[in-house]
Amino acid sequence: MIVTGGPVTDVTPLQLAAKGVRIAQFDRDDVEELHLVKLDLLCLKALSVLDDAAEGISAARPGFCYEKLPLNDRATYRLLNRGETMGVFQLESPAQRALQSRLQAENIEDVVASLALIRPGPIKGNMVDPFVARRLGQEPVVYPHPKLAPILEKTCGVVLFQEQVIAIATELAGFSPGEADRLRRLMTHARSHREMQTVGEEFVHRAVAGGVAEKNAREVFACLEGYASYGFCEAHAAAFATTAYWTAYLSAHHPVHFYTALLNNQPMGFYSIATLANEARARGIKFLPPDVNVSGAKFAVENGALRIPLSWVKDISRGALAAILRERSARPFVSLPDFYRRTRVDRDILENLVLCGAFDALHPNRRELLGRLPEGILAASRQGTLDYGPLAGVPDFSPAGKYALEYRVLGFEVGRHYMTFWRSLLQKEGYLTSRQLRRLPGRMPVKAAGLAVRPHRPPTRSGKIVVFLSLEDETGLTDVTVFEDIYQKYGHLIFGPERGPLKVTGTLHRRGEGVSVTAERIEALPPLPVDPPLISRLKREGRQR
């Protein structure tokens, strides 16, 4: 076995050597110079998502196999066309979601093309808009030279793949396959200006000798040179597109099993678990809180809902989780003192289990149970005492307080989204949900509010600052664009240390089935009011421990 450039699996070279596998570690370029076969093996969690989801689906549909799914399923393409691709492999970023809603893919070749389009080369070369317009029949397909029509026909006259670079050099300039591949490698690696001039002149000379006008030959080479440094391999794109299609199919037809598998394989992809969980809720999937007598180590499907695992409770250790599952398998827990006596978990873990609702089925009042932890721990030390008598009727936390504490312990919402606490006030002020915005025509003033998700400032051709972010509310995501003049006024609210939920006033734009808002004014939404005495006491007790 030859390992190049770093680990190719989760198994290290030393572990492989210990198993008797002979290993020689070479640089990838050296392997190529030695004319050895070089394979890049990618470890994709998306494949684990597919396997895990298929296992769950097979319980109800024996023999289910995602590799045998039809590639012409209309429901899957409708999901892609709506841009509802959160969690879908390679198609979930804002740029891809926007492209999917514009492109209106009809077949797997469209998905392959979309994988190659959202990359530096096509974007830098301004190829995205022409491809979409040509694919939708909004403008004619134009080829750099008539001889290239067979090569570029399926990509609407746009160079998208490295294989097309090789084919163009072979067809137009008479390069041999080896010479064409050398041209591709020269373009896709760091190269000197002198080398590019030399190979460019050779390309033009041989193309002219084959009957191509010199001006046209230079135009074609300039196109290749501008693109190929960021070129995408078509075989790579096809493999990724197939995996993307399979995950989209599961999202469209088996959303509960898909999101269960997706959450069990975090971290991965573009979004946090909180955003993915919110998308699942927006699609009608219910989340059930952790339960000391029900929850396992992973997210699980339970009567069509998702049960949150104990492993997601803050501070819980592997040892504590193993003790809980082991004791529970013998007999259910009947009270908090019974739980503590049998598991002896640390007090901070016990506290977090109370705060996220893991004892609700045994003791529904979280505030009172939290206040009686010392009494419960003492009761657990008394032989024969499994409870601490009747509750005293202390009022439970408010819904907002429960929400804030659940989020602190689990890292995402269980039953309701943060923005639902503000919705009635926001409605009075004219703020619309993401779902409402998707129903409106473009070019109209709107107000949107939500949690700021994945704000980023990509480089632009003009050099000016443009910030992209998404506003997350209880119905989904709204993409927002912030140009430099607005960023100069409100950038501190987006990237500052006190950043939080935002209110945005701007103009709605529609492209295909996708919408976005261009910001004109940004305000901060104040934080939720939470019980201050409770938080202070928890922090104080935490310091004492």
**540 pairs with which residues across the strands?**
none
How high is the pLDDT of residue 5?
Answer: 47
By CB atoms closer than 10 A (0-12, 13-18, 19+), residue 128 is buried
Dihedrals phi, psi of 483, to nearest 5 degrees:
-85, 170
Q: Which CATH architecture has domain 420-524?
A: Beta Barrel (2.40)
Per-residue pLDDT tens digits for 363-386: 999 999 998 888 888 777 776 555
- Report helix, strand or coil for 514: strand
- Dist. CA 504–CA 467, nearest whole Å: 14
- Dist. CA 252–CA 421, nearest whole Å: 30
Sequence spans of domains, the chain: 2-33, 47-235, 287-410, 420-524
Q: What is the CA radius of gyration of the chain?
A: 29
Q: What is the DSSP string of 344-362?
A: ---HHHHHHHHHTTTTTTT
Nearest Cα to Cα of residue 474 among 530, 524, 426:
426
Paired sense of beta strands 287-288 and 24-26, if any: unpaired
Low-confidence ranges of the chain (pLDDT < 50): 1-9, 532-545
User: What six digits make up the tokens of 439?
Assistant: 């129903």
How high is the pLDDT of residue 228?
Answer: 56
Cβ count within 10 A of residue 272: 16
Q: Contact 421/391 with Cβ under 8 angstroms? A: no
Q: Angle at CA 466, nearest 5°, toward 461 and 467?
A: 140
How high is the pLDDT of residue 538?
Answer: 42
Per-residue pLDDT tens digits for 310-342: 999 999 999 999 999 999 999 999 999 899 999
User: What six digits make up the tokens of 171?
Assistant: 């067809």
> In this structure, which long-range contacts are made by residues 367-370, counting pairs with CB atoms below 8 Å and at least 24 apart in sequence?
367/394, 367/395, 367/396, 367/397, 367/534, 368/392, 368/393, 368/394, 368/396, 369/336
How high is the pLDDT of residue 66?
Answer: 96
Per-residue pLDDT tens digits for 250-279: 999 999 999 999 999 999 988 999 999 999
Strand residue runs (E) in 281-380: 287-288, 300-302, 305-307
User: What six digits make up the tokens of 64?
Assistant: 């289910």
User: What is the torsional sign of CA 389, 390, 396, 402?
Assistant: positive
- Dist. CA 8–CA 31, nearest whole Å: 15
Who contacts 398 (Cβ-Cβ below 8 Å, separation ≥6)?
531
Who contacts 218 (Cβ-Cβ below 8 Å, separation ≥6)?
200, 204
- Dist. CA 325–CA 296, nearest whole Å: 7
User: What six digits make up the tokens of 88?
Assistant: 């879908």
Answer whether 287-410 and 420-524 agree in fold. Answer: no
Q: Contact 452/513 with Cβ under 8 angstroms? A: no
How high is the pLDDT of residue 24?
Answer: 65
> In this structure, which long-range contacts are made by residues 36-41, counting pairs with CB atoms below 8 Å and at least 24 apart in sequence?
36/2, 38/2, 38/4, 40/8, 41/8, 41/9
How high is the pLDDT of residue 16?
Answer: 57
The pTM for the full model equals 0.86
By CB atoms closer than 10 A (0-12, 13-18, 19+), residue 436 is middle
- Dist. CA 435–CA 441, nearest whole Å: 13
User: Among the CATH numbers 1.10.150, 1.10.3470, 1.10.20, 3.20.20, which is that of 287-410?
Assistant: 1.10.150
- Dist. CA 83–CA 103, nearest whole Å: 10
